[in-house]
Each structure stands twice: as C-alpha cells, then as structure tokens.
Structure 1
Amino acid sequence: MTSITYVWSELGGDPARLARVSTVVREGLLPARLPVRELARACVGACALAGAELGARRAGLDRVPGVRVDDGAVATAFTSERRLLVDGRAPELFAPLSRFWRTADGWVRTHANYPHHRERLLKSLDVPDDPAAVEAAMAGRSARDVEDAVYAAGGLAVALRTPEEWAAHPQAAEVAARPLVERGRLDGARARTFPDLTGTALLPAAGLRVLDLTRVLAGPVATRTLALLGADVLRLDAPGLPELPDQHTDTGFGKRSALLDLTADRRRFEELLADADVVVTGYRPGALDRFGLSPEALAERRPGLVVAQVSAWGAYGPWGDRRGFDSLVQVATGIAAVEGSAGRPGALPAQALDHGTGYLLAAGVLRALTEQSYDGGSRVVRVALARTAAWLMSGAGREAEGGEAVPGAGVWLGETDSPVGRLRYARPPVFFEGGPREWRRPPGPWGADPAAWA
C-alpha cells in the first residue's frame, strides 16, 4: 500500500478518488534514513484531494478536480519556518536552551523557546540561565531523572529512547492502538448546507468560519491550509501568553489574530462560537475542558460543528496530559536515535511530525465537512504527533521510485509586503485544478485584529 493510499483510507475517503492524484517525484529532498519525503508527499496529497473533493461537492462538478503533488513544493513547505525572511532577516528557530544535552547515562532534549518553559527548566535543575550551568547539571544526572524532574516542574525535557525502548513504553502501546486520524460523530445534527461558491478560484472552505485555538506548528499549519482554501480563520490567544513573532508570521498567512481571555471575555467567545463552523484546538489535552471546550460540550452548544484537535502524545495513556513538541516526540519515539550517528542523536531534515500532522488535521476537517453534507452530525477529528511518528517509524509506505532533478528552491518561494515587513515565504503546496495558489492576505502582528468575524 502506498503512503497516500494509506492516508486516504485512514481519512475514510473513496479509493476511486485516488486516480485523480498525480505526483512529481524529485530526488534528494528531505534526505533521511526514514521515509520523510514519502510521508510529506502523502500528507499534502491527501489534504489536497480532500479539498478537491469538497470543492467538487459544493460546485456540483461531475468529477473531482485533478490533484498535483510536487515534491519540491512539499519539501519547501515542510521547512517553511526555515525559509521565512522578514525584511531580509532569518528567524531564530531554537533558543539556546532548546537542544540536546549529554547526561550521566545518555541524552536529553529540552524545549525552552518560550520564557515560561525556560524558567521552569532552570528551576527544576536549580541553575542560573547559563548553558554551561545547565550542561553541568545534566551531566550529573540520569536522562530519565531529568525527564521526570523537568516535567514535574511544568517544563519540557525528554530522554532519548531507542525504537525498542519506546515500543516497550505504555504510551507507545496506546498510540499504536489508534488510527492515524481519529474520526467520530458526536450527534445527529442535520446535514450541512453550504453557501454558494462564488469567484474564479475553487475554494472548498469559502464561507466557513474557523476558530483557531492553536499554537506552535501543527495546529497553525492546519488552519493556515484551511485559510488558503477559503475559510475565514480567526486565531484566538490568551493575552498573557505571547507567541514567538516569527513563528506566528510563518503560520499566519490568510488568518486574522485576536486576543481573548476565555474567562473575562466569555460572552464574546460564545458569540463567536455561535457562528463558527469549525473549532481547531492545539493545547495540551484537557487544558481547555475547564472552559467548556471539549468536543462534546462545544457540539452541544453549537450543533453541526466540526471540532479538530491536535496533541503531541495523544489524548490518552500515561502521557496523555503531557505537553510536547515535534523535537521532543522525535527523541522519545526513537526517531532521533535512528537519525543519529557517531554516538550522537540526530533529527529529521524538517519538523515533519508537525507539518505532516498539520496537513492530516486539515484533511480530516475537509473530509468531515464533506461527510456532513451527506449525513450531518457534529464531528470530531483528532491527530497526534506521536501517532504520525509511529507511522513514519513503520516505514510510511516506503516506495521504490525514480525521480526528476531538483530545480532551485526559489521556484516554490514567494515574496510579499505585509504589516510586519517584506516577507519571503514558502508558497502553499496544496494544489488542485481550479484551486487557489496563494493566500488571500499576508500575516499581521500577533493579536492585532478584533475578536470578531470578518
């Protein structure tokens, strides 16, 4: 079974639709021991096919538009945060304390890009904000001890595990038992009726409103893709939890960004929810439940809603309530061990778990909307970085194939003026006949828009 066949099956798609997908294979991109290029191609291809299917449904077309997946565009998009330039300046991707550290018995990777995570890391180790002090503290402790201590303090650190060690972990068993994309129906809401499509481009999500309650990469990649396909995406963030500016710029294309306190501004949130079609969440599992934002609670207040959730480890098992990021999931699941060399851990050539899972989540939303147009029902879609990692580690449908030479990366890069400066950026890789080629608006500053639908 090829990668895209597997993904499309996991999404519940009609296998006959796969005949509408063509691929431009290019050698040398996303080089790794694991089949990263195949995973990336499959996630983007399935997302594009889900978009084409919904567009055909809404436009009353006799057949689904043809989908074209180009490895060059996909590889560039999977490294979008590295391709970004703001007024010619490249962003800082990882803070000084976000890295691998040698411990007394192995390795640990930490994530301290956000100030509150850095402070918790330093507090758990009882050291000043100095890499040399952190290095010395790590060297005297076991990797698992550091992992437990930092997580207990609310920070982020994960011990390096081999694939075999991860397979023996109870969280791995929980992850392996789940589908790549979890899909469910929450109620018997009536079939969805879409607004008429207008304009020259085929925009499957036109007229739909998406509340974006996500951070970092996977969730924002999903909502950035929905914005490309025509959705009105409104990202909401808590005023006291600022975002990294460059990260927000990279994933902010096509969206608006507003600040909203879910406690103090609860009435405003409920007004937004009443007119929403999709809610996407990317916080630690359970973190939003106290605000009445579980899928069941949301669907009860807004029947017919699609609720999409992304997490690091999955919303189940002993690590179900843990925070996590792509780099840490790579370390825990054995990917860093497989990609390492000379006794040192390695990393994938892109944050492929984040990007791949983001396109899977967008595809799940698009398929849920298509299914609603036939069968109704509020829907829930769940994905997890650790589940995407399990698929990658299993081979992700490694395919023997030839390919074309790789043209310059500039082919898949664009430039535009924006409220935050002149941007160079990765162009969207999702393409089907008649579909959009660019976002309708550039990103703006974090939290600069009103908390209102356009």
Structure 2
Amino acid sequence: MDHPSLTPPEGKHELTRWFTRQIWQSLGEPSSGADCLQVSGDGDLGTPFPIADLAAASFAVSGLSVASLLNAAGLDAPPVAVDRLESVAWFDVPMAPTRYIDEPDRHGIHSRWMAEYLTADDRWIRVQASFPSLRRRMCEALDVAEDPGEVARAFRAQTAEALEHQLVDAGAVAAIGRSLAQWRESDQGRAVAAEPIADVRTTTSRSARWSPHPLRPLLGVRVLDMTRVVAAPMATRFLAALGAEVLRLDPPDGDEVTMMKANDIVIGKRWAVLDAKTPEGRARYRELLASADVFVHGYRPDAIDALGFDVDARAEISPGLVEVTLDAYGWTGPLSHRRGFDTILQFATGLAHEHARWANEDPGRRLPLNSLGHRVDGSRPRILPVEILDFSTGYQLAAAAINGLRRQLMTGKGSLTTFSLARTSTLLAQPEFTARPEVIDLPLPLPTGTRVHEMNRRPSRRLEFPVRVDGVDLYWDRPAEDAGSSAPQWATTRAGQDR
C-alpha cells in the first residue's frame, strides 16, 4: 500500500492536533471531537521526527475519551488541555512520574543487554536481552556464555540476515537496523501501512455494571491487567488514575516477577501472581475474566489463546467485555507473530537508522542530550531519546478502553481493539514531516505536586499529568507494590458475584 500524500499541517501546535485527529478517527470517533483541544508547550527533542507532537496527541486522545464518556453519561463534556513538553517528560526513561526528593536529578536506565552488535557484513543488529529468559535464549542460540564480549564476537562472525533468523527462531528478540525505505518496501512494512492505527470490533453484549462519576470517571470499573514491560502497563496505569480497580496478573516464573520491585509501572494497581497453566489457576482466571469490565493484555497474539481462552471464548465468558491489546510487528504480514520491544521496532522500522543519518547530515546541528547525558552518534543506528512507540501506543490503548466503556454504557456491546508498535512507528515517520528547529534536552526540569509519596521506602513527589480534563482529578489511591503483594481476586465485591 502506498503511503498517502499528506500536506504537513501549518501553524502553532497544528501537528499535535493532526496526530490527535488521526488517532481519534481510527478509534471510530469524529475528527471534530479534537477541535476543542487546548495545546501548550514549545520545542522538541531535536530528532528527525515530531516526537513531542505525537506524545501530546497520545495523551490528548486519552483525555478526549474521558470527556466523551462523561458527556455520554449526561454531563457536560469538560475542556481538555495537553502540554507537549510535559508529555515528552512523561515519555522519558525511567518511567515518570516519580521524582525522589533525595535524588531530584534522575538518570535513565542503561542495560548492557539492551545493545546493538556489528555483524560480519558490517550491519547492526539490536538485541533486547535484559530479561533472563531472553538472554538465555540468545546465548544458547549463539552457543556462548552470558558475556557481552563473547556475544559481540559471535555476532561479528555471521551475517545479519542469518543471525536475525537464528535468534528469532530460538525465541530471542533481535532486529537488523534497516532504513525507512527498506522497511516501507518490505512485505511487513507494506502490511502494517495497510492496517488502521486502531482496529475496533464490537463483540457480545451485556448491561453495564457501573456508571461514571464526574470526579473519578472509572470508579467501580474492574480492569484485568495481563501486560508486560511498558506500553500496555501505561494504559492500565492511566485507568487506575481515573479510579478503576486494576488487578495485574503475572505467572509465578515471569521475568518481571523475579526482576522488578515496586516501581512507577505498577502505581495504583494491585499485583498478583497466578499460574493460569494449572487447572486451579485456569479456573481462577476464568472467574476473574467473567467479572471484569475491561481486559488489557500485551502478550504475543497467541499467548492468551494457548491458555484455552481464545477471543471467542473470552467474549462468551464475559459478554460485553471491553478488550484492548497490542502486538509488536502488526497483526498481518510475515512477521506478525514476532516478539518485539520499543527499541527493537525502532531498529526494524528505520527510526534508528534515520535518526543517525539525520545527525550525520549536518555536523553543525545541535543534537539533543538523552537521559543518560549522551548525544547522538551518527556513525551507527541510534534509538530516539525517549521510548516513543511504547508510551504513545500505551495511552492510545487507554483511550480505546475508555471509549469501549462508553459504548458499553450506551449500547451494552463489548469490543476488541488492537494496536501495534509498528503501526505507531509508521504514524510517526510520515515522509512529509521534518524536524523542528527548537531543541530541548532531557531530563526536563518540570514542577511536581506538593504531596509526598512513598516509593521503595523513599520520599518522592509526582509530576503533574500533562493532560488535564476539567473537573476530573487524576491520581492514584494505591502506592506501587511488589509482585504477589495482592491475592488474585478483586478487592471489592458485587452483588451476586464471587471475589
């Protein structure tokens, strides 16, 4: 599918509004719904892509969905405002919004196992092996010890194409650094370009079990969270900030269970461990699914099905369920079931290559600092200063969930909405868009709220949300907790339903 010819929007903040309309329309909403959006904040990160505009638009659609929900409940639709620079700050790594009082200047997370290696044919491959299971698969496929030096030598001994296939077949995560043109001309790039930003389908029906409250719109909503890493957890965290009860489930041997402590990803949620592969675990999972209002998951497309609950079974178990999910490489095409993460997709879809090419194009160009205090090296593919694909897609997922709840409230119908990181990359990398001249560095010095919170037994404050819905109080009423701190059951009961 050829990319459409676009006229780049002109005028201050018009690109933010353009992105907002594209996403909003893909969610099945009228483009006029974005006309009243208030946008503030100037500057961008100094890359070839309009990162701040997409970041702000992703927050904007989540805010517009809240306003639309309240309007459907018979209330006046409140004004929605978004700040571009605050949005970028929330997309910084590690995950906003916590700012430790005793360490105000935070620095990004760096892992030696999130890296790129040069191959025998002088190409670069990016790997994501920070999780033990992924690192084990990679090293077993290469027949080396878990040592970065040995891994580098193994990569240098083979060609990129052979290595990528070898690693992916072993269940590891890797991607060759390709150009934008190479991605667009590939079978997978063409398949993703033909997909909508959001694919929305209606499913079975039931009567709504709740009604929105003007201050806490999702109070009483149950969200079953089977998400991983960054993108989908951003969605459920936003739903929790609106008052929803979010129950995250992880398998007992999951990487994040064994590696992660309480952190920003799980603020506002209860975090339980459940082995859904056992008969008892499947029964408990079925009960939770039957009593959920929203189901958000970010596993590979066939992972939930493999538990014995495919999409038709889920709709039958929980009529009217609002289901939202994503994958990495898109839902069609030859790579649709491949594992992937934000930085992996930046390599695969050409963002990293274009970032380095752009940096090398003008030696006098001021390049931005990222959270690690590093500037872009134009000699190799380089990831963007923030994980734009993860975070942007995550807040689009949140908007889809809220819009699904609105439709459920009005019609009783459930829905299934799918996204992909690759499609978000395609949206960002429109050929007609050019870099903005204003360059800002990370981390941005943004004000925090006055309330003091606990995070890992340390005092902290939180950044204000970059999206504001007039009259709606966005906050979390639960601190972050470790995996297994909560039982796999709902905290509240409903008449006629088990916990």
TM-score by length of 1: 0.91
- Please name the residue that 2:330 is paired with: 314
Q: Does 1:52 align with 2:89?
A: no
Structure 1 unmatched ranges of 5 or more = none
Which shows bigger deviation, 342-351 or 175-184? 342-351
**300-309 or 7-16: bigger deviation:** 7-16
Flag the 1:356–1:396 CA change in 2: closer, same or farther, 3 A. farther
Instruction: Give secondary structure in 1 for the equivalent of 2:263.
Output: helix
What is the RMSD of the two structures over their aligned residues, measured on CA atoms?
2.7
- 1:72–1:406 contact (8 Å) kept in structure 2: no
Q: State the distance in 2 between where 1:225 and 1:122 align.
A: 36
Query: Which residue of the other structure, out of 29, 35, 41, is the alignment partner of 2:50?
Result: 35
Amino acid of the structure 2 residue aligned with 1:254? G
The whole-number CA distance in structure 2 between the counterparts of 1:238 and 1:97 is 23
- Tell me the residue number matched to 1:99: 115
1:303, distance to aligned residue in structure 2 (A): 0.4
Deviation at 1:259, TM superposition (A): 0.3
Mapping for residues 300-379 of structure 1, pairs under 5 Å: 300-340=316-356, 341=360, 342-379=378-415
AA aligned to 2:128 is H
Name which of structure 1's ranges 85-94 and 360-369 shifts more when overlaid on structure 2: 85-94
Letter in structure 2 aligned against 1:450: A
Offset of residue 316 of structure 1: 2.6
| Larger CA deviation: 229-238 vs 98-107 | 98-107
Q: Please, what TM-score do these two structures have when normalized by structure 2?
A: 0.83
| 1:78 maps to amino acid | F
Matched residues in 2 for 1:115 and 1:406: separation? 29
Q: 1:292 & 1:166 partners in 2: Cα distance?
A: 35
1:256 pairs with 2:270: yes
After superposition, residues 154-193 of structure 1 pair within 5 angstroms as 154-187=171-204, 189-190=205-206, 192=208
Query: Counterparts of 1:255 and 1:315 in 2: how far apart (Å)?
Result: 29
Q: Is the 8 A contact 1:212 1:279 kept in 2?
A: yes
Partner of 2:247: 234
Alignment of 1:199-210 (within 5 A): 202-210=215-223
Which residue number in structure 1 is paired with residue 364 of structure 2? Answer: none
Aligned in 2, Cα 1:176/1:87: closer, same or farther, shift over 3 Å?
same
CA distance, structure 1, for counterparts of residue 177 and residue 438 of structure 2? 34
Q: In 2, Cα distance between the equivalents of 1:371 and 1:400?
A: 38
* CA deviations over 1:180-230 (Å, ceiling 9, x no partner): 01100123x145363362xxx622222110000001000100100111111
Partner of 2:155: 138
Does the CA-based 8 Å contact 1:40-1:74 persist in structure 2?
yes
Does structure 1 conserve the Cα–Cα contact (< 8 Å) formed by 2:39 and 2:82?
yes
Letter in 1 for 2:381: P
Q: 1:438 aligns with which of 462, 467, 475?
A: 475
AA at the equivalent of 2:52: R
Indicate yes or no: 2:238 matched with 1:221: no
Give the one of 448, 459, 463 matched to 1:422.
459
Number of residues paired by the alignment? 447
Q: From the superposition, tell whether residues 400 and 152 of structure 1 become closer, same or farther in structure 2 (CA, over 3 Å).
A: closer
Uncovered stretches (5+) of structure 2, i.e. residues with no partner: 1-8, 10-17, 361-377, 492-499
**For structure 1, which segment, 96-105 or 218-227, has the greater mean C-alpha deviation from structure 2 after superposition?**
96-105
Cα deviation, residue 80, structure 1 = 4.9
Q: Is 1:116 matched with 2:141?
A: no
**Matches of 2:395 and 2:285 in 1, distance apart?**
26
Determine the structure 2 residue equivalent to 1:195. Answer: 211
2:83 to 41, 64, 70: 70
**3-state DSSP of counterpart to 1:99:** strand
Q: CA offset at residue 294 of structure 1? A: 2.8
